[in-house]
Amino acid sequence: MRLDGKLTFWVQIKYAVEKAAKATAALSKLMANTGGPVAKKRKLLMTTVNAILPYSSEVWADALDIETRRKEIIAVHRRAALRITSAYRTVLAEAVFVIAGVTPIDLQAKERQRVYNRKTNGDYTQQMARQDQDQTIEMWQQRWNNSTQGR
């Protein structure tokens, strides 16, 4: 993990964004422009991006409360989602994540942070894991309901 002097984690976020963008571009070359990618290639692309972007997000998830940082990381995640859905680049982020069935990266980071905090505070059960997942889905649904564009 990369740190800056003020512990804003901006350096780590930028590094993850650049690395994920390069991986997305390289893996996108494996996919045809028409007809959409096959399931194995879609899974490979999203698994790779979802492994790179939220790395150590338990620590820096709060940094995504700042809109510029959140937009930066969502942009790369959106590009991968656009690629696996074969959608036009004009499709909104909220819509393409729903179509792709991929939870937005900022919500994934917050969920990982909640899980980490619960685990460090004591026992962590399957029921708690399900609660964390349900909370993430609720936040995603609320974001979708509050979206004014593309309705």
Compute the distance between CA of residue 30 and CA of residue 37 in angstroms, rounded to an integer: 8
Please tell me the predicted confidence (pLDDT) of residue 17: 84
| Residue 64 scores a pLDDT above 80 | yes
151 pLDDT band, cuts 50/70/90, is low
**Structure pTM?**
0.79
CB 146 within 8 A of CB 90: no
**Does residue 131 or residue 8 have the better pLDDT?**
131
Q: Residue range 49-60: average pLDDT?
A: 83
Among the ranges given (8-12, 76-80, 104-108, 133-137), the one the predictor scored with the smallest mean pLDDT? 8-12
Helix (H, G, I), strand (E, B) or coil at 72: helix
Per-residue b/e over 34-66, b at no fewer than 16 CB within 10 Å? Answer: eeebeeebbebbbebbbebbbbebbbbbebbee
What's the mean pLDDT when you consider all of the chain? 84
